[in-house]
Amino acid sequence: MKNIFKIVVLGVIAFGILVYATADKPAETKTQVSDTSSLTLSNLPKEFEIVGKDGKVSKEDLFQTGSKALIIVGNHDSLSVVRELPKYYDVQIPYVMVANISSAPWFVKKMFIPGKLEELVEGRDTPMIYDFDGDMIKALGVTDNEKTTYIAYLVNENGSISNVFKGSVKEGALDGTMSEEEMKTNLASLVDYIK
């Protein structure tokens, strides 16, 4: 019994060392406030990794020139509510969700987050950008990494991008802490801003 315990402890220690040794160095965080009044489609990355799709998708495939689009940036709790937008409201503007997971630890991003995000988009037509390295977040100047916060940006016909709304949801929304009525009420504020 003692030997089994030693093997388990040594295995856990070895696994911890392996994760520590192979993890990428955390990116240096520079608080840089970007001027959201001058954001355009050209500021966004050229291609994106979409949850549930193989390969990368180009910016032109997601955002058509000459038409409006909505970009909603959030973490798992907030995106679990935002994904219900078409269920409660008839929104005529197509929207793209961005999973703000770039600040999560390397191991968590590789092992746990992809499965949770795939569950969020399952059976939905709304694309979700898997922003592993934070390129989209940096381009939009997002500095809020709270799991209950979401930020909406409107892409105008001329390609300019404006920050239109910042909302928040209840802690644990992914696990069902918000009722249908609470979700609908929460999203009503966003819908009012984009009409």
| Domain membership flag for residue 108 | yes
- 42-52 tens-digit pLDDT: 899 999 988 88
Is residue 162 assigned to a domain? yes
Full residue range of the structural domain in which residue 184 is found: 34-194
Specify if 144 maps to a domain. yes
Whether 7 is in a domain gets the answer no
pLDDT under 50 in the chain at which residues? 28-36
Whether 41 maps to a domain, the answer reads yes
Q: What is the pLDDT of residue 20?
A: 77
Specify the number of domains making up the chain: 1
**3-state DSSP helix/strand/coil percent for the chain, to nearest 5?**
40, 20, 40
Residue 75 within any structural domain of the chain: yes
Q: pLDDT tens for residues 6-51?
A: 898 899 998 888 777 777 665 544 434 444 457 888 899 999 988 8
**Domain annotation covers residue 112:** yes
pLDDT for res 25: 61
Phi, psi of 43 (to 5 degrees): -75, -20
**Does residue 62 sit within a domain?**
yes
Side chain identity at 145, as an amino acid letter? N
Cα 47–Cα 138–Cα 133 angle in degrees, nearest 5: 60
- Specify the CATH number for the domain of residue 171: 3.40.30.10
Strands (E), the chain: 47-49, 56-58, 69-74, 95-99, 128-130, 149-155, 161-168
Mean pLDDT score across all residues of the chain: 83
* pTM reported for the whole predicted model: 0.76
